[in-house]
Amino acid sequence: MKIPHHALVALANGERLIIMRNVGQPFEPKLEKVSEQDLLLTNFSAGVRHHEAANTAGSSSNIDELAHGAAIADFFKKATHDGETDPLVIAADPKTLGEIRLQCHQVVKDRIVGEVAKDLTNQPLEAIERALTLA
C-alpha cells in the first residue's frame, strides 16, 4: 500500500487507538508514534442493532467495542474540523473497521487513503510497517 509521507496511520481495535505518522517514503513506510488516545465511549447506540440481532454471552463487551469504533470516527471528525488535513490510513480489526466506516463523516472519508482490516495494535513496529507495505 502506498502511504504518503507524513500521513497519519490509525491502529485500532475495540479497545485501543494508536496514532502513528509515516516519516518514510510512500512504499517504504517508517512509522513514529504520535499518540495513544483514551476515548470516551458515548455512542452506545452504535451497537444496539448488533445486540438485538444476537443476544449472546459477552454482548455488552461487543457493544463497548462498537461504541469504540464510533468514538474513533468522532475523534477523526473533530480533528478534521479542527484543521487536521493529513491523509489517513486506518488499520483495524474487521468489526471495528466496519463500525468506523459506518459512523465516519464525509470530511474524514475524504482523508482516508487506505484501509487494512487487521488488528495491528499489539504488533511490533517492524511487523506493522511490513503489513502496511504488503496490504
What does the DSSP assignment read for 66-135? Answer: HHHHHHHHHHHHHHHHTT--S-EEEEE-HHHHHHHHHH--HHHHTTEEEEEES--TTS-HHHHHHHHHH-
Percent of the chain with pLDDT over 70: 85
pLDDT at 40 over 80: no
pLDDT of residue 14: 87
pLDDT at 83 over 50: yes
Domain range summary for the chain, segments of one domain joined by +: 8-134
Architecture of the domain defined by 8-134: 2-Layer Sandwich (3.30)
